[in-house]
Amino acid sequence: MAQNNQTQTGSTPTATQILESSWATSVDSQTAQQFTGLAQVRQARANQLQRQVTALTATYGATDPAVLAAQASLTAEQTFASRLGMVSATTSTTAPTAPANGWVVYGRVRNADLTPAPQLTVFLADEARAWLQQYAFAFTDQTGYFTLSYTPPAAGKKPRQSVAREAREAREAEASAASAEPLSAYVEVSNAACKLMYVDAAPMSIAAGAVVYRDIVLSAEVPLGTPPCEPGAPPSVPPATKQK
């Protein structure tokens, strides 16, 4: 996976920049551990500020200037800690392997407050916002994680042939897949009631062999609409088990 220019020495991105790029999916394990440690430190700081706000409020009241200032600091710290938590989860996620001649879109769906959004349906749609049924759909687990994987249909059973011929045909199939036009599609997310929770603003390009990470944050104003219940948003409740 190509690295973003932000990974170059002396230009380490901020938490917000990481969430808006592919940087976090290409860092090494040592850097991932550093982000995890930093997220824990900032969360501890947020917890300390919460205790201070509680004590000050009890003493001076919620409208006291000192209390309001402490509350503002707490809100900022909580926001930053949440973003670092997202980065930590992203950098710690092992990328799945794309199937032969296929691809994988994986990642996490989060609510507007950055908490995990479980039991939602992630699927691909065309320019008319119609579900691309041949690519199926995926459910988010309790951490908001999903994996949408596509494997091209297998060809009919062929008669036994030589190893050399099989190897040649395999190389030809790989070359054909590499030269094929990438899929252009929109990622959409819906809930069990068939309500659209997220719609890509622009299509994404998915080439054969690609492993694409997406970190999706839902709008605070959802649902966005109601698609046909059949495409990509079955009304049945998804399994509660993690799908990693």
Percent of the chain with pLDDT over 90: 30
Q: Give residue-wise pLDDT tens across range 189-206.
A: 999 888 899 999 999 999
Predicted local distance difference test score (pLDDT) of residue 29: 59
**Buried-exposed string 168-202: b where 16+ CB fall within 10 A, e elsewhere:** eeeeeeeeebeeeeebebbbbbbbeebbbbbbbee
Predicted local distance difference test score (pLDDT) of residue 187: 95
Highest mean pLDDT among 42-46, 48-52, 144-148, 166-170: 144-148
Query: Does the pLDDT of residue 2 top 50, yes or no?
Result: no
Query: Does the pLDDT of residue 67 top 50, yes or no?
Result: yes
Domain positions in the chain are 5-91, 103-217
Cis peptide before 231 (omega within 30 of 0): no
The C-alpha atoms of residue 91 and residue 109 are separated, in whole angstroms, by 15
Joined together, the tokens standing for residue 188 give 């959409």
Q: What is the CATH class of 103-217?
A: mainly beta
Q: Give residue-wise pLDDT tens across range 111-127.
A: 988 888 999 999 999 99
User: What 3-state DSSP class applies to 188?
Assistant: strand
